[in-house]
Structure formats: structure tokens, C-alpha cells
Amino acid sequence: MGACHRPHCIGGKRILEDTMKKLVLAAALTAAASTAFAGSMADPVVEPVVIEEAAGSSSNNVWVPLLLLVVVAAAAAGS
């Protein structure tokens, strides 16, 4: 990089070209760093699957309609 006789050169240095090279290098390093830190190598957190079982048995569900039938039959017999 010798002396430069163009208007954009001061003291024999190519200021504009050097600045552009630095900007391109900074942009490339920034892009590489942002993709490097985008994800981590940590194990993903997986929540356990919750399976709900019905409480009690199906025989408990039979008592409510039977009790209602007895009440209706008692009311019909009393009138």
C-alpha cells in the first residue's frame, strides 16, 4: 500500500477503503457472533405428561339417577 495521490487519500493512506474494510469485518464478526449465541447446547426442558384417571368407579355414577327416580316415584305415589 504505497502512496496515494487521489483526493480521498490523506498522508498516503486510503482512509475510505480502510474504513470500509473495518466495517465489513465488524459486520461479519457481528453476524457470526449472533448466530453462535442464538441457541445453546443445554438440554431442553420437557414437562412430564399428566394423565388424569377418573376418580372412583362407574358404580358411583349409578346412585344419583336411582336416587332421583326414587324421589320422583315417592312424590308420584304421595299425590
Go through 13-48 and write b for each residue having 16 or more CB atoms within 10 A of its CB, e for each that does not: eeeeeeeeeeeeeeeeeeeeeeeeeeeeeeeeeeee
The model's pTM? 0.33
**Per-block average pLDDT, block size 10, for the chain (79 residues)?**
56 73 89 67 80 68 84 85
Three cell numbers at 48? 412430564
**9 has which bridge partners?**
14
Q: What would you measure as the largest C-alpha separation in the chain, in angstroms?
A: 120
End-to-end CA distance of the chain: 116
